[in-house]
Structure 1
Amino acid sequence: MPGLDAKPVIDLDVVVPAASHVAPAIAALADAGWVHEGNLGIAGREAFEMLPGLPLHHLYLVVEGSQPHRNHVDFRDFLRSHPAEAQRYAAVKRELSPLLDTDRQSYTEGKNAIVEELLALARGASIPALRVPNRGTFANHETFSLGDGTVVLRPLTMDDAAAHLAGEDSEFSTWLSGGVSTEETVRRHMERSQVLWRDGGPIFAFAICHEGSNTPLGTLDVQLEQPGFAPGQANLAYGLYPAARGHGLATRAVDLAMEFLRRHTDATSALIRALPGNPRSATVALRAGFTLVCAAGDSPDGHAWHQREVERDGPRQVPAQVSGR
């Protein structure tokens, strides 16, 4: 597709007019050298191994007008006619690209989520979306910050790249980055973060800093659109670099993120999702006033879901046991 970043792999559909033509077509493709792999879990779409000696490709056999065929055509046509959505799709794939070598399943799940969303839009579905009410609010986002006297949240910038690379350890990369970062992946992430701030979301990437210092201690993302979330739900994802852990800074940062949601979005609640092997995240959620609403074993993604309502009638009253954050 013109102008769209992508892996150097061509998706090809062999389209037959009726289901009765599928078996003969499979046989004909086999005679030409393609090895049939079955439907690979997608009914109505027959897949074939890549034929050596040709440009990299994915070859599928579909019946004209079938759901898999319509998915391919509708998705292609929608991206061609909606360049902004095409670039959003490309940005998501760029962000997911480090997972290709470290966690292919997570890459596929992340890509499938944006594909399903765009297909729904292509077919006229109304996708509940949370947006900053005034999309021009953060045009000068470089000067924006929120603080509580100890911790400050400010937009992540390109100047934070070196500190991020130096601060990231295995815990941070496992739970937040999705893999070990490189200069290139960090640069792309910072660039995309700047674009999203200027565009008014739907993701706002913050640096977590000490009051009076511009050096990042970690990062926090406020994500206003997540596949599978109910209307009005936002997601918070955060991580601190090793030297900043154990001092209550993450809890303060989460409280500030809730204040951001209250002041600048129409979100009604926030979620923090923690994997069973990440007890720090669950502890922060509970200290920040979140309530466990779905255990990891019962959730759709294997995470424990913690939720807190966005308060509109005044500041949250901090429980006494949390006041020493």
Structure 2
Amino acid sequence: MISLRPIAVADARTYAEADAGTGVDWLTGADTRPAGLAAHFERCAVDWDTGGPARVFAVTAHADGSVVGALGVHAEQPYLAAGQAALAYGLAPEWRRPPSAIRAVVLACRFLAAADLADEAVLRVDPADAAAVVVARRAGFHFFRTSDEPEEGRLDWYYQAV
């Protein structure tokens, strides 16, 4: 079982050691070494403090609170319509099974609804990543469209009202 909490600068080293760093690179382009993650997590803390359009959560193991991944909620992205927020997550290898990722996505949707940050959540997934497709569908998302951009490659877009 997993939980979400706002990411903290102190999570950078633990996150890097959990081997989830490649997810942050995909999510945000952040440097995945501990110092780069710390700088990125500092910016994330500012977004939390100021109510900014991007919120990054630490995904934690419920049993001991250890950081096992990160999940980003990003509103006001240029590729989104008004009222939408993109969700993206990265989990440590031993946590990369659909039940953990589904729970993280569901919790993020609950946050979006409670915070009134968006009306609709968007997952953009690589259609070749069968596990990510399973997460989108089992979390209640519906396929909307496919995009194929040079910088991102082919992505299937899944939407869900929050």
Q: Note whether the superposition's TM-score is higher than 0.5.
A: yes
* 1:201 match: secondary structure: coil
Residue aligning to 1:188: 39
Distance 1:174 1:278, change over 3 A: farther
The 8 Å contact of residues 175 and 278 in structure 1, kept in 2 or not, is answered as: no
Q: 1:129-148 counterparts in 2 under 5 A?
A: none
Q: Does 2:140 align with 1:289?
A: yes
After TM superposition, give the deviation of residue 174 of structure 1 in Å.
Answer: 6.2
**Which protein shows a greater Rg?**
1
TM-score of the aligned structures, taking structure 2 as reference length: 0.87
Residue aligning to 2:74: 223
* 2:111 match: secondary structure: helix
Per-residue displacement from partner, 1:41-69 (whole Å, max 9, x unpaired)? xxxxxxxxxxxxxxxxxxxxxxxxxxxxx
Whichever residue aligns with residue 308 of structure 1, its letter is Q
User: Which of 1 and 2 has higher RCO (CA within 8 Å, sep 6+)?
Assistant: 2
Q: Does 2:128 align with 1:268?
A: no
Distance 1:268 1:213, change over 3 A: same
Residue aligning to 1:251: 102
**Equivalent position to 1:303, from 155, 158, 162:** 155
Q: Distance in 2 between matches of 1:296 and 1:255?
A: 24
**Dislocated runs of 4+, deviation >6 Å:** none
* 1:284 match: secondary structure: helix
After TM superposition, give the deviation of residue 291 of structure 1 in Å.
Answer: 0.8
Per-residue displacement from partner, 1:169-221 (whole Å, max 9, x unpaired)? 58636643647611221111111011110001211110111224221111001
User: Between Structure 1 and Structure 2, which shows a larger proportion of strand residues?
Assistant: 2
Q: 1:15-26 counterparts in 2 under 5 A?
A: none
Q: Distance in 2 between matches of 1:189 and 1:214?
A: 21
Distance 1:283 1:175, change over 3 A: farther
Whichever residue aligns with residue 172 of structure 1, its letter is G
Per-residue displacement from partner, 1:128-150 (whole Å, max 9, x unpaired)? xxxxxxxxxxxxxxxxxxxxxx3
The 8 Å contact of residues 233 and 270 in structure 1, kept in 2 or not, is answered as: yes
Aligned alpha-carbon RMSD (Å):
2.4
Residue aligning to 1:152: 3
Q: Distance in 2 between matches of 1:270 and 1:183?
A: 29
TM-score of the aligned structures, taking structure 1 as reference length: 0.45
The 8 Å contact of residues 105 and 139 in structure 2, kept in 1 or not, is answered as: yes
The 8 Å contact of residues 275 and 296 in structure 1, kept in 2 or not, is answered as: no
Distance 1:247 1:270, change over 3 A: closer
Q: Does 2:58 align with 1:207?
A: yes
After TM superposition, give the deviation of residue 266 of structure 1 in Å.
Answer: 4.4
- My pick for the range that moved more, 254-263 or 205-214, is 205-214
Q: Distance in 1 between matches of 2:94 and 2:40?
A: 23
Count of aligned pairs between the two proteins: 160
- My pick for the range that moved more, 210-219 or 224-233, is 210-219
Whichever residue aligns with residue 249 of structure 1, its letter is S
Q: Distance in 1 between matches of 2:30 and 2:45?
A: 21
After TM superposition, give the deviation of residue 251 of structure 1 in Å.
Answer: 0.2
Q: Does 2:48 align with 1:197?
A: yes
Residue aligning to 1:166: 17
The 8 Å contact of residues 203 and 221 in structure 1, kept in 2 or not, is answered as: yes
* 1:295 match: secondary structure: strand
Distance 1:203 1:269, change over 3 A: same
